[in-house]
Structure formats: C-alpha cells, structure tokens
Chain A
Amino acid sequence: MAHRRTRVKSWLPVLLFIGGAVAAAVYFVENPGSAMAARVLTYDHLATLAAQHVGMVVISSLLAAATALPLGILISRPRLRLLGLVLENLVNIGQTIPSIAVIALSFTVLGLGFNTAIFALWLYSLLPILRNTYAGIISVPPGVREAAVGMGMRPWRILLRVELPLAFPIIMAGIRTAVVVNVGTATLATFIGAGGFGHLIVTGIMVRRLQLLLSGCILSALLAMLCDHLLGMVEEKVKTSA
C-alpha cells in the first residue's frame, strides 16, 4: 500500500507537467500570434519535428548503450584496470567539449543530415554510460566478488549474476543522464539540417517570435521528462522482477 502511494506521488508532478506542456503547445498552435509563426506551428509540422527528434534520440541512445555497455564491462576487468583509468580520464576530458562543437566537428567530416546528427549524439552520449558502467562494476565490494568465486562461480556468471545486478542502478543512472542530455543536444541538430524541435527554437530566435521559441523549449523539455520517466519505470520493473 505504501509502495503504491509513493508511485502515485511520483507520477503526479510528471502528469501535471505533461498536461501543462501539451496545453501550452496546443495554445501556441491555436494562437501563433503572427503569420510567420503560424507557418511553422501546425500540428502536421510539429508531428514531423517530434518524429525527427524522437528518432534521433532513440537511435543514438540505443547505439550508445550498445557500444558503451560492453566497453564499460571490458575495461572493468581487473586485467584492464590501467586501460580503464586512461579511458575514464579520456571520457572526462571528452565530456568537457561543448555539444555544439561535437555536432559541428561531425558535420565537417560527415556532411549534412540525420546520420551525422545520430553520429554526434551517439558520440556525446557514450561518455556517461561508459563511465557509469565502469564505476558501477568497480564499486562492487571485493568481498562479494570473492564470495562468488568461493562459491565456484565462473567469471561470466559472476558478471551476470553478481556484478551487473549490483551495478544496475548506477548503470541506469548513466543511461538516464545520457538520454536526457541527448534530448537537449538534439535541439542543435537543426543547424546541420536534421530537423527536430531545435527548428522551432532557432527559427524563434532568428525572427524573434516568442511563440516559436517557447513551444520548441516546452516540447523538448516534455520529451526529456517523458524519456527520463519511462526509463525510471523500466528500472523499477527490472529491479522488482530480478
């Protein structure tokens, strides 16, 4: 019962925010305030932008998880501790490069469009996932690992049954961070012709139309919030089923 109540409570602000954001978006579409904003703020166009934005975030995040998880596990092996330290520091430095620079650099090599945006977002979200996977596994107390060895578990089983489950919350935190940051970074993809909610924001700034700017911001915030919450639900589900 108590469990259920906390769940309802955690949903409430999210529901309120979603409701508010959707209402705001609808309000702006119905009252664009100028012909220029009206040209951009149609339900059709918003759906296209949403599909582009969600597409970029989902594909790049999945690819990032698929790359960074195995890599994180690999460098957490005792034999590769040294490499782990080097890589972790590289990762820390990498994260200090501004996201717009990552997109701009990818553009100079790969050219325009959706694929370049995916590549840049993938690169940028590798880092939190890799770091958290590594940190999560490293943080498993040596005693626990020794106990598993003592029970005669093979390394693979130790990884799957002991290390990963114990590291899971930390890994998930990394994935959630990566995805939420990704939603924000994807607003920059409009500079290289990949669309997304950034289109509304940049156009809004260029032609000084607050309705465009705000609807872009609100919709990307909404998406970030939704992604984070969905991943939170997945995390809960996995935890309870494990």
Chain B
Amino acid sequence: MKRVMSKYGIIWLISLLLLLPLLSGCSGGQAAQAPGAIDKWVFATDHEFSVRPDGLPELLKFYGFEFDEVRIMDLGVTYGALKDGQVAAAMGFATDGRIAAFDLVNLEDDKNFFPVYNPAPVVRKDFLDRYPELEELLGRLSPLLDTETMISLNAQVDVENKDPKEVARQWLLEQGLIREEASAPTKGKIVVGSKEFTEQLILGAITIQVLADAGFEAVDSTGLAGSEVVRKALTGGEIDVYWEYTGTAWLVHLGHDDPLTDSEECYNLVKEEDLARYNLVWLAYAPFDNTYTIMMRKADADALGIKTISDLARVINEGKN
C-alpha cells in the first residue's frame, strides 16, 4: 500500500511540475502600477465595435489618434480587463453597472461622435387616448433617470445580484414615487414589455410598479428577446408600453442609415416620424444615454487629467512626440 501511495505521489508531483510553470507563466496581467503610469496604450474592444461604421476605426479618425495596440475580446470581458490593468482603455456601454463597481470612468464624448440612445416610454396612440394620464404618470419618471442613477441601478442587479423588481421598488420608494402598500387595481389593464437585458428589466419593473401604484392592473411581460420582437409586440397590441431607445428606433425601426448624435434632435425626429408612420407616441425621454463609451480606470484618468476623449487623444499624441 505504501508503495502504491508513493507511486500516486510521483504522478501528482509530475503533473504538478508540468502545471506549475504554465500556471505561473499565465497568471499574467501587469504588476500594480502607479496611477497614470501607462507606457503602452492598449485598448480593449468587442468584435462588433472594432468594425462598425460608428465604431473604433471612425472614432480614431474623428478624434485623430491611435492606440498602440487593439485587443479584441468578448464584450463582457472588456470591463474586467480594464479593471485588472491588462489594458489602458476599453469600450463598453455607458450605463453598465460595472463602471461604478470597478472604479472606472466614462470619458465624455465631447465632439459628439457616438449616436445617442436615450430611452423613453412608447405607447400606441389609441391606447394613450384611452388612458391620457399615462403621459404624466410615466413622463415624470424620465427626468429622474440620469446616467449615474442608471449605472447605480444596473450595478445593484449585475454586481450585487439583487432582483430587478426589488431594485426598482427601492428606488421608487426613495424617490417617493410609490407608496409602501399598493392599492387593489381599480383601473384598466396595461401590459408592460421590455427587452431582455438588465437595464430594460429594471425600466420595465419601474413602470409596472408605478402603474400598479396608480391603480392600474399592470401585467408583467418583460424580458422579451430583442428589439424587433418587443416592437412587434407593441404595434401588434400584445403589450401596451415599453422603453425604447431613440437611436434604436431611428436606425432599426425607422430604417435610417445616418446615426444622430444629438439627443434632443434625435428624440424630436423619432417622435414625429413614429407618430406619423406607426401611430406610436414617445413620452418624455430620459437624460441617460445607453450608447457606446470609452472607459479608463478612474485613478489613471484623474492622474493624467483626462475627462474627455479629446483629452485622451491629446495625452496619447503628446506621448508619441
């Protein structure tokens, strides 16, 4: 038995010996650096952003700078790669909860390169005519939803693993928008839809609870897969309201090719065209903008005095001269 054990021991030893150099060689990442000490500007992007016409190549041309190296990876991975110091800057979505949780910062798109994606509740005209109070009820939510608020709500779900419904309820209670106890429904039935990702689930949950508080029978039909599906559900009458993004409507549902980069302009154009063509009404839009963003670690950005993408371009270009 002792002999067998020693043989087992040899096998483990051999496999460990073979594993160790690999593990230590791979456990990579850069050693901790002083904030702002970036000697190589490596940028992390997902596959889509690396080729899209409103993506990286045009952004670099527009702001007039180049990264030393561009590394392409899965979208969900860019935030972690930036946090762990494997890259100096990364792309992501501006309202992702990990931005706050990982101590990252969005660089301001000071030259308005990125198309705008402000969300607003959308309802059918005939439905709004039946319940005109919706306009005020949902419209007052929008101005409260700025980028910081949305990042924090998203973070509670994505990073702290809370339930979107509970996060929505907490926020609404804090804002004094609903009462602790919902009354029994006395008004008509409203079906609330949403797309399948975190932010949409939260917006859906907020809407449902506000409607329920106002005495409507709010039906939960959130979490539908994809923009096209939710939009069809709305125009087909299977759902009555959901939050759509102005940029998505402009490019996808209304089929325009030229992305718009001004929130106000995009909202007004979409609102007008969607009413005329599809009989849909866009209620007030939220100030937060779920668009692409360029992120850095907060410590680095502060140390280098980078607040905007122009600042980043300047720092990188100065470093090269």
Task: Render A139-180 as a binary contact track against B, CB cut-off 8 A, 1 for contact.
Answer: 000000000000000000000000000000000000000000
Task: Render B60-81 as a binary contact track against A, CB cut-off 8 A, 1 for contact.
Answer: 0000000000011110010001
| Distance in Å: Cβ of A130 to nearest Cβ of chain B | 11
Given contacts A39-B57, A113-B28, A195-B72, contact A207 B48 (CB under 8 A): yes
A118 CA to B19 CA, complexed, in Å: 12
A6 CA to B188 CA, complexed, in Å: 79
Q: Does A35 lie at the interface of the complex (its beta carbon under 8 Å from any beta carbon of B)?
A: yes
Q: Does A193 lie at the interface of the complex (its beta carbon under 8 Å from any beta carbon of B)?
A: yes
Contact call A122/B22, Cβ cutoff below 8 A: yes
Name the residue of chain B whose CB is nearest to the CB of A200. Answer: B47
A39 CA to B245 CA, complexed, in Å: 28
Q: Does B15 lie at the interface of the complex (its beta carbon under 8 Å from any beta carbon of A)?
A: yes
Q: Does B37 lie at the interface of the complex (its beta carbon under 8 Å from any beta carbon of A)?
A: no
Question: Interface residue count for A (Cβ, 8 Å)?
Answer: 36
Q: Does A111 lie at the interface of the complex (its beta carbon under 8 Å from any beta carbon of B)?
A: yes
The main secondary structure of chain B at its interface with chain A is helix
In-complex Cβ contact of B27 among A79, A110, A190, A203 (8 A): A110
Name the residue of chain A whose CB is nearest to the CB of B44. Answer: A193
Residues of A close to B27: CB separation below 8 A:
110-111
Contact call B26/A193, Cβ cutoff below 8 A: no
A199 CA to B51 CA, complexed, in Å: 11
| Distance in Å: Cβ of B26 to nearest Cβ of chain A | 4
Question: Interface residue count for B (Cβ, 8 Å)?
Answer: 32
Given contacts A111-B27, A111-B29, A112-B73, contact A79 B7 (CB under 8 A): yes
Contact call B51/A107, Cβ cutoff below 8 A: no
Q: Does A26 lie at the interface of the complex (its beta carbon under 8 Å from any beta carbon of B)?
A: no
Contact call A113/B86, Cβ cutoff below 8 A: yes
In-complex Cβ contact of B86 among A39, A71, A83, A112 (8 A): A112
A206 CA to B74 CA, complexed, in Å: 11
A71 CA to B15 CA, complexed, in Å: 8
Task: Render B1-23 as a binary contact track against A, CB cut-off 8 A, 1 for contact.
Answer: 00110011001001100100011
A119 CA to B29 CA, complexed, in Å: 15
**Would you give 12 A-B contacts (Cβ < 8 Å), ordered by A?**
A40-B51, A83-B7, A110-B28, A111-B29, A113-B28, A113-B71, A115-B22, A190-B72, A191-B74, A195-B72, A203-B50, A207-B47
Q: A interface vs B, CB < 8 Å?
A: 35-37, 39-40, 63, 66-67, 70-71, 74-75, 79-80, 82-83, 107, 110-113, 115-116, 118-119, 122, 190-193, 195, 199, 202-203, 206-207
Q: B interface vs A, CB < 8 Å?
A: 3-4, 7-8, 11, 14-15, 18, 22-23, 25-29, 44, 46-48, 50-53, 57, 71-74, 77, 81, 84, 86
Known: A35-B53, A112-B77, A118-B22; 6 extra A-B contacts, CB below 8 A, are A40-B51, A75-B11, A112-B81, A112-B84, A113-B28, A192-B73
The 7 closest A-B pairs by CB, nearest first: A193-B73, A115-B26, A206-B48, A191-B74, A203-B47, A110-B26, A193-B71
